[in-house]
Amino acid sequence: MNKPTISVILPTFNRANEVSNAINSVLDQTFNGLELIIINDASTDNTRQIIRAHQKKDSRIIIVENKKNYGCSESRNIGLSYAQSAVIAFMDDDDRYTDNQTLKCLHAQMESEGCDLVIADYNVNDELRRMNKFAGNFKYNIIRRPGPFLQCILIKKQIITKMTVVFDKEATPSEDWDFFITLSKLNPVVAYCACNSFKWKLNQDSQSINLIKEAKALTYICYKHYKYMLKNIGRKTMSDHYRRIARIYEKTNSSIQIHQFYKKAFAQYPFSIKNIFYRIIVIMSYKNMKPLINFMRQLRRAPNA
């Protein structure tokens, strides 16, 4: 077998009812020259039997069996160590490519642009998310706000190997954002491919639905990259990140954390009307003032917590 051109890394854990769809969406790609590396993260259901059955039918599949459950971040790191290709793609076990041309389109864009990273649009529950802005001033835009997911990119392995920590398990379930921020420090050449790359199935089983974990992950990322973020986006946008974390904690009624992060936002940028408003609110008691907050958000057509 010739050396593959693209290695697709797919970690899976207890997804017996979903993983076949993800596998087939990769194997059905019309791009010639790919390998699919499946990392079975110590599944306890019949995921192992299912992926083995796929491997018997298609020699492009490589299966890595974790002896214990490491999580998706570490499983991706393990998968990278098995990748034979110079170009890497990622797939999650409950997602799928939009059509069978995705990898061909992304690779053609990479070849045409001579870039390190290609980013495409993606679909979340039938809503198209456009990623074109991340091709211009990638560093500023990715620090300013999360956007791309790993499933909508094609990236050269050479630049990944320059990252000290590729996938940081402490950043889960926002490890995608942490990955891209870390990558931005290497000043990659980034291109945009105007295609709808994959379908993200957002459901109650998605790890990102765990709001406490998400808030803690975002807090960790802001702490980890604080100096770098502050240098490139300034205090005003940094305060936006802290307000965003506070909003997530609002959904969990975590009053201590709500107070803490609105206070952090105000400390970062006390000149913001929003920061002043929320600082006063938490001083006066967030619980008692919540109806006022929801009323103000309705006027701005912003979602309530």
Closest C-alpha among 35, 10, 31 to residue 21: 10
- Confidence check: pLDDT of 138 > 50: yes
- Confidence check: pLDDT of 290 > 80: no
Which CATH architecture best describes the domain 6-208? Alpha-Beta Complex (3.90)
- Confidence check: pLDDT of 95 > 90: yes
DSSP string, 44-66: SSSHHHHHHHHHHH-TTEEEEE-
Model confidence over 107-127: pLDDT tens digits?
A: 999 999 999 999 999 998 888
Choose between 141 and 280: higher pLDDT: 141
CB under 8 Å to 58, separation ≥6 — which residues?
27, 36
Q: What is the DSSP letter of 114?
A: T
Model confidence over 237-267: pLDDT tens digits?
A: 999 999 999 999 988 888 899 999 999 999 9
Mean pLDDT in residue range 3-26: 96
Model confidence over 207-225: pLDDT tens digits?
A: 445 899 999 999 999 999 9
Q: Are strands 190-200 and 117-124 parallel, antiparallel or unpaired?
A: parallel
**How many helical (H) and strand (E) elements, i.e. helices and strands, does the chain have?**
12, 9
Please report where in the chains the tokens 């699919």 appear, as a residue. 36
CA distance 196 to 274: 35
Choose between 52 and 252: higher pLDDT: 52
CA distance 124 to 250: 24
3-state SS class at 145: coil
Choose between 151 and 209: higher pLDDT: 151
Residue ranges, CATH 3.90.550.10, the chain: 6-208
- φ, ψ of residue 297 in degrees (nearest 5): -70, -35
CA distance 196 to 210: 26
Amino acid at the residue 207: Q
The mean predicted confidence, pLDDT, of the chain is: 92
Question: Could you tell me the pTM of the whole model?
Answer: 0.92
At 151, is the pLDDT very low, low, confident or very high (cuts 50, 70, 90)?
A: very high
- Confidence check: pLDDT of 136 > 50: yes
pLDDT at 110: 97
pLDDT at 2: 81
pLDDT at 200: 81
